[in-house]
Amino acid sequence: MNKLLTVSPSPHEYSKESTPKLMYGVVIALAPALLATIWFFGWAALLVTSVSVISCVIFEYLIQKFILKKEPSIKDGSAIVTGLLLAFCLPTNLPLGLVILGSLVAIGVGKMTFGGLGNNPFNPALVGRVFLFLSFPVQMTTWPVPKGFNTSFSDAITGATPLSVLNENYEKMPVDQVMNDPELSMPGYSQLFWGEMGGSLGEIAAFALILGLAYMLIRKIITWHIPVSILLTVAVFTGILWLANPEANADPLYHLMTGGLLLGAIFMATDYVSSPMSKKGMIIYGVGIGIITVLIRRFGAYPEGVQFAILIMNAFTPLINNYIKPSRFGEEVKNG
Amino acid sequence: MLKTFPKGGVHPPENKISAAAGIDVLPLPEQVTIPISQHLGAPAEPAVAKGDTVKAGQIIATSKGFVSANIHSSVSGKVFKVDKAVDASGYKKMSVIINVEGDEWLDTIDTGSEHKKDITLNSEEIIKRCAENGIVGMGGATFPSHVKLSIPPGKHCDVLIINGVECEPYLTSDHRLMLERTGELVTGISILMKALKVERAMIGIENNKTDAIEKLREYTSGIDGISVHALKVKYPQGGEKQLIKALIKREVPSGGLPVDVGTVVHNVGTAYAVYEAVQLNKPLVERVVTVTGKELGKPVNVLARIGTPVSKLIEFAGGLPDNTTKIVNGGPMMGKALANLSVPVTKGTSGLIVFREEEARRKETGPCIRCGKCITACAMGLEPYLLMSLTEKDMHERSEKEKIMDCMECGSCSYICPANRPLLDYIRLGKATVGKMIKERKQK
């Protein structure tokens, strides 16, 4: 019985969880939303998504291999998630050159300059999206009207998003009137839920996003803390505004189901790297995102504020991690 | 709803392969190696020399100080030498090596198998018996039991907690003991209650051992003050602080002991050893060891004499499979990997697990993705990712403030980490440095 044995410190047992499994889990959670967008916007949606994902992966590979000169880690799936999320906040008729440029900024500036996976302070997909939004505002806010598979890629019919219509008309006429104006053709709740409205790829179908959330919660990829605290805060804040002055404000449900709120709350704000790590920290972060979102939507210049709200709170994440600690065992002695 | 501790925890695959294997008595080996330090605290001092003849149960090393324990010979025979030998820690420790001749016990020890129920000794006498007979905690930490039973002045204890949790995967030695020595175990618990002068004892058992729960309920039904509690299966419930929280909802303060919240915790193995020490005057010279592994021919639970080389136990369980690359002394979460097969069974050896190549190797480490799963898993409410990076950066003052010393090294963080980061390895390093800092500060 003379054998060379492996000696290592405990534990000797490991869970089956791994970084790639978590990342591909997010990809699976995004699948319903992807299918929904293809249904509403046709093949153009698939084209934009594919270009975004492939260019994110290629940029990550090239930067790691030739600039950082280390072993490329594209297999971990994080670049695929970034590519999907970036595509989901773009209009389907965005010129493909801009999609590729957005991917370069997302991966190159948003992720790799900080040292790659695990080190980026901001959500890379949002960095790419905001870069495009500020640099190419016209192209980025020209939303095609969904016509299913008849939506051709070159369609530049501008169907304004419900939030931008609201934003333009806040001071001009009561919200009720905006909602029912046949010329403005605002979508109703069921249209919002099933995705029949103008908007970016991933923001249009609430049910598909909620399905993704359910999957991620069941697989324990994320916990409820961030999405629920964001959505609740938005509901409460817009609810107060609405109750105070129903003439000038849309109701909370409308706010929850429009814009990129669900996409942001479920998939963007929950990005592991750029969100706080303790449960208490997550809730503070979520409440912050909710408040900033409503402030921008209602009182700011832009009709939608989720992406800025998330980026602003991303910047607070290290501070939150530093000061908000989980309650330690034996800290407060509760006997009874 | 079953009781459990509220903060953190993980649920590794249970793998209790040997749960149905009754306790077998292991044949005597030709030679035993008995380390003089098998407990927490000061090593004992050898009391025999080369060439001495010893009987089973005879003291071969005497306790040095209060926090220390006597070491007894587990066999009869001749002392071959008193020398250094590698133990489970991987270091060479002073040991008494005895060549076995026959099986002769000291006359003062009752070697019969009759269950003696009547407790005639009083509290002080019980504690003295435990000290004389070298009883230590058998759950793994091997803290001398007489120290735990002596309540310091100014403290009080109102409930005794008996740990039958056995939350480590694979291990079944406590489970079998609860099933096969139930009566003696219950008497042991009554003895401990008498020693501590408490009216109440609670036995905590995880719900994957329903047969043991039922059997103990049956045996304790007529006894006032002893109750059996089924607990939800969750690791590390066998940790003292977690078990106390689960059963009586009291939280041991950071840096404190169970007695600070009015309780003392003893393992079922210890309670059984206390029965033998007090009722039979039998020292701690043998224990139940689980020998298991997915590839092992015949996973068993054996009653082995202290000092028996590990190789004998594995031989008894069907021999070492060819693809074995790691042997763990203890459970897979907290046990120590052995360097060779001549390491002896000691008072703290609860199990031996044989792992094959794929199970033994660690997976490749990736960057921290800040998922926070280590925080969710930590039963002490710590931030393992932070403690690891503070240790890497030599920021030990900060990690002391972040309560690194509260870590009990249960391994849940390393277990759960999706990037396979060696969190606990670094935390151990950090604890060693911070521990040294605290010691130096106290000396000033």
| Token pair 């058998």 in the structure block, residue | B138
Q: Are B338 and B260 part of one and the same domain?
A: yes
To 5 degrees, how large is the angle CA A202–CA A204–CA A205?
95
pLDDT, one tens digit per residue, over A219-234 is: 999 999 999 999 999 9
To 5 degrees, how large is the angle CA B375–CA A28–CA A145?
120
Whether A228 is in a domain gets the answer yes
CA-CA distance, B14 to B166, in Å (whole number)?
A: 10
Interface test with A, best of B251, B313, B423 (most A CBs within 10 A): B251
**Does residue A336 register a pLDDT over 50?**
no
Q: Are A297 and A226 part of one and the same domain?
A: yes
**Does residue B167 register a pLDDT over 50?**
yes
The answer to whether the CB atoms of B424 and A11 lie below 8 A apart is yes
Which residue range forms the structural domain that includes residue B39?
29-99
Which residue range forms the structural domain that includes residue A286?
162-192+222-322
**Does residue A279 register a pLDDT over 50?**
yes
Kindly indicate the confidence band of residue A201, based on its pLDDT and cuts at 50, 70 and 90.
Answer: low
What are the residues whose beta carbons fall under 8 Å from the beta carbon of B14, sequence distance 6 or more? B169, B208, B233
Lowest mean pLDDT among A4-8, A80-84, B231-235, B403-407: A4-8
B255 → chain A, closest CA residue: A330
Whether B367 is in a domain gets the answer no
**Does residue A159 register a pLDDT over 80?**
no
SS3 letters for chain A? CCCCCCCCCCCCCCCCCCHHHHHHHHHHHHHHHHHHHHHHHCHHHHHHHHHHHHHHHHHHHHHHHHHCCCCCCHHHCHHHHHHHHHHHCCCCCCCHHHHHHHHHHHHHHHHHHHCCCCCCCCCHHHHHHHHHHHHCHHHHCCCCCCECECCCCCCCCCCCCHHHHHHHHCCCCCHHHHHHCCCCCCCCHHHHHHCCCCCCCCCCCHHHHHHHHHHHHHCCCCCCHHHHHHHHHHHHHHHHHHHHCCCCCCCHHHHHHCCCHHHHHHHHCCCCCCCCCCHHHHHHHHHHHHHHHHHHHHHCCCCCCHHHHHHHHHHHHHHHHHHCCCCCCCCCCCCC
The answer to whether the CB atoms of A328 and B372 lie below 8 A apart is no
Give the pLDDT of residue A158. Answer: 54
Whether B323 is in a domain gets the answer yes
Judging by beta carbons within 10 Å of its beta carbon (0-12, 13-18, 19+), is residue A218 exposed, middle or buried? exposed
Q: Are B40 and B21 part of one and the same domain?
A: no
B424: contact with A, CB 8 A cutoff: yes
Q: Are B266 and B351 part of one and the same domain?
A: yes
A330 → chain B, closest CA residue: B253
Give the pLDDT of residue B290. Answer: 97
A5 → closest Cβ in B326, B333, B375: B326
| Token pair 């990736």 in the structure block, residue | B366
A3: contact with B, CB 8 A cutoff: yes
Judging by beta carbons within 10 Å of its beta carbon (0-12, 13-18, 19+), is residue B153 exposed, middle or buried? exposed
In terms of phi and psi (left: phi > 0; alpha: psi -120 to 50; beta: otherwise), the region of A284 is alpha
B364: contact with A, CB 8 A cutoff: no
The answer to whether the CB atoms of B256 and A18 lie below 8 A apart is no
B chain contacts of residue A224, beta-carbon cutoff 8 Å: none
Half-sphere exposure of B157 (CA within 13 A, CB side): 25
Lowest mean pLDDT among A6-10, B360-364, B437-441: B360-364
| Cβ atoms of B348 and B140 closer than 8 Å | yes
The answer to whether the CB atoms of B381 and A13 lie below 8 A apart is no
A5: contact with B, CB 8 A cutoff: yes
Give the pLDDT of residue B173. Answer: 96
Whether A43 is in a domain gets the answer yes
Whether A206 is in a domain gets the answer no
B253 → chain A, closest CA residue: A330
Radius of gyration (C-alpha) of chain A in whole angstroms: 21
Q: b/e per residue, B35-70, with b = 16+ CB within 10 A?
A: bbbbbbbebbebbbeeebebbbbbbbbebbeeebbb
Q: Are A175 and A250 part of one and the same domain?
A: yes
Whether A184 is in a domain gets the answer yes
Kindly indicate the confidence band of residue A150, based on its pLDDT and cuts at 50, 70 and 90.
Answer: low
Q: Are B334 and B430 part of one and the same domain?
A: no
Please report, for residues A7, A89, A200, B62, B238, the alpha-carbon distance to residue A197 in angstroms, rounded to integers and kept in the order given: 61, 14, 10, 84, 56
Q: Are A306 and A264 part of one and the same domain?
A: yes
Kindly indicate the confidence band of residue B240, based on its pLDDT and cuts at 50, 70 and 90.
Answer: very high
**Does residue B317 register a pLDDT over 50?**
yes
Give the pLDDT of residue A156. Answer: 47
Please report, for residues B71, B275, B292, B329, B342, the alpha-carbon distance to residue B86 in angstroms, rounded to integers and kept in the order given: 17, 31, 22, 13, 8
Whether B107 is in a domain gets the answer no
Give the pLDDT of residue B231. Answer: 97
- A11 cis-preceded (ω within 30 degrees of 0): yes
pLDDT, one tens digit per residue, over B69-122 is: 999 999 999 999 999 998 888 889 999 999 999 999 999 999 888 899 999 999
The residue that leads in pLDDT, B423 or B64, is B423
Find the helix or strand (DSSP H, E) in which B327 lies.
Answer: strand B324-329
The answer to whether the CB atoms of A328 and B360 lie below 8 A apart is no
User: Could you tell me what percent of chain B has a pLDDT over 70?
Assistant: 100
Q: Are B221 and B143 part of one and the same domain?
A: yes
- Residue A163 to chain B, least CA–CA distance (Å): 33
Domain endpoint, select from B99, B122, B148 = B99
A325: contact with B, CB 8 A cutoff: yes
Give the pLDDT of residue A335. Answer: 46
Could you give phi then psi for residue B327, rounded to 5 degrees?
Answer: -125, 125
Structural domain total, chain B: 3
A322: contact with B, CB 8 A cutoff: no
Q: Are A166 and A299 part of one and the same domain?
A: yes
Whether A327 is in a domain gets the answer no
User: Could you tell me what percent of chain B has a pLDDT over 90?
Assistant: 88
Structural domain total, chain A: 2
Q: What is the CATH number of the domain that holds B285?
A: 3.40.50.11540
Q: Are A307 and A171 part of one and the same domain?
A: yes
The answer to whether the CB atoms of A10 and B336 lie below 8 A apart is yes
What does the mean pLDDT of chain B come to? Answer: 94
Q: Are B261 and B127 part of one and the same domain?
A: yes
B411 → chain A, closest CA residue: A11
Q: Are strands B351-356 and B71-72 parallel, antiparallel or unpaired?
A: unpaired
**Does residue A313 register a pLDDT over 70?**
yes
Q: Are A102 and A41 part of one and the same domain?
A: yes
pLDDT, one tens digit per residue, over A26-77 is: 999 999 989 988 888 888 889 999 999 999 999 999 999 999 888 888 889 9
pLDDT, one tens digit per residue, over B173-226 is: 999 999 999 999 999 999 999 999 999 999 999 999 999 999 999 999 989 899
The answer to whether the CB atoms of B339 and A8 lie below 8 A apart is no
ipTM for the complex? 0.88
Whether B106 is in a domain gets the answer no
Whether B381 is in a domain gets the answer yes
B249: contact with A, CB 8 A cutoff: yes
CA dihedral (B128, B131, B133, B137) positive or negative: positive
Q: Are A112 and A176 part of one and the same domain?
A: no
The answer to whether the CB atoms of B337 and A19 lie below 8 A apart is no
| Cβ atoms of B237 and B4 closer than 8 Å | yes
Q: Are B221 and B127 part of one and the same domain?
A: yes
Kindly indicate the confidence band of residue B402, based on its pLDDT and cuts at 50, 70 and 90.
Answer: very high
Q: Are A132 and A251 part of one and the same domain?
A: no
Give the pLDDT of residue A199. Answer: 65
Give the pLDDT of residue A149. Answer: 59
Whether B366 is in a domain gets the answer no
B chain contacts of residue A11, beta-carbon cutoff 8 Å: 332-334, 411, 414-415, 424
Whether A71 is in a domain gets the answer yes
The answer to whether the CB atoms of A335 and B375 lie below 8 A apart is no
Q: Are A27 and A135 part of one and the same domain?
A: yes
Q: Are B279 and B229 part of one and the same domain?
A: yes
A138: contact with B, CB 8 A cutoff: no
Please report, for residues A121, A230, A261, B386, the alpha-carbon distance to residue A316 in angstroms, rounded to integers and kept in the order given: 9, 15, 20, 17
Interface test with B, best of A2, A14, A120 (most B CBs within 10 A): A14
**Does residue B246 register a pLDDT over 50?**
yes
The answer to whether the CB atoms of A12 and B335 lie below 8 A apart is yes
Q: Are A289 and A187 part of one and the same domain?
A: yes
Domain endpoint, select from B330, B361, B392 = B361
Window 258-277 of B: residues touching A by CB (8 A cutoff) are: 261
Whether A233 is in a domain gets the answer yes
The answer to whether the CB atoms of A5 and B353 lie below 8 A apart is no
DSSP annotation of B406 reads G
The answer to whether the CB atoms of A334 and B327 lie below 8 A apart is no
What does the mean pLDDT of chain A come to? Answer: 86
Q: Are A127 and A170 part of one and the same domain?
A: no
Could you give phi then psi for residue B105, rounded to 5 degrees?
Answer: -105, 160
**Does residue A237 register a pLDDT over 50?**
yes
The answer to whether the CB atoms of B251 and A335 lie below 8 A apart is yes
A76: contact with B, CB 8 A cutoff: yes
Kindly indicate the confidence band of residue A2, based on its pLDDT and cuts at 50, 70 and 90.
Answer: low
The answer to whether the CB atoms of B353 and A12 lie below 8 A apart is yes
B chain contacts of residue A18, beta-carbon cutoff 8 Å: 363, 418-420
Whether A92 is in a domain gets the answer yes
Beta carbon pairs, A and B, within 8 Å:
177
- Look up residue A111 and give its two tokens: 């992720």
Radius of gyration (C-alpha) of chain B in whole angstroms: 21
A chain contacts of residue B385, beta-carbon cutoff 8 Å: 277
The answer to whether the CB atoms of B326 and A8 lie below 8 A apart is yes
Domain endpoint, select from B361, B394, B416 = B361
- Residue B279 to chain A, least CA–CA distance (Å): 35
Q: Are B318 and B331 part of one and the same domain?
A: yes
The answer to whether the CB atoms of B367 and A325 lie below 8 A apart is no
**Does residue A170 register a pLDDT over 90?**
no
What type of residue sits at position B315?
A: E
B200: contact with A, CB 8 A cutoff: no
Q: Are B194 and B73 part of one and the same domain?
A: no
Q: Are B14 and B73 part of one and the same domain?
A: no
- Residue A270 to chain B, least CA–CA distance (Å): 9
Q: Are B311 and B199 part of one and the same domain?
A: yes
A12 → closest Cβ in B250, B337, B381: B337
Q: Would you tell me how many other CB atoms lie within 10 Å of the CB of residue B342?
A: 16
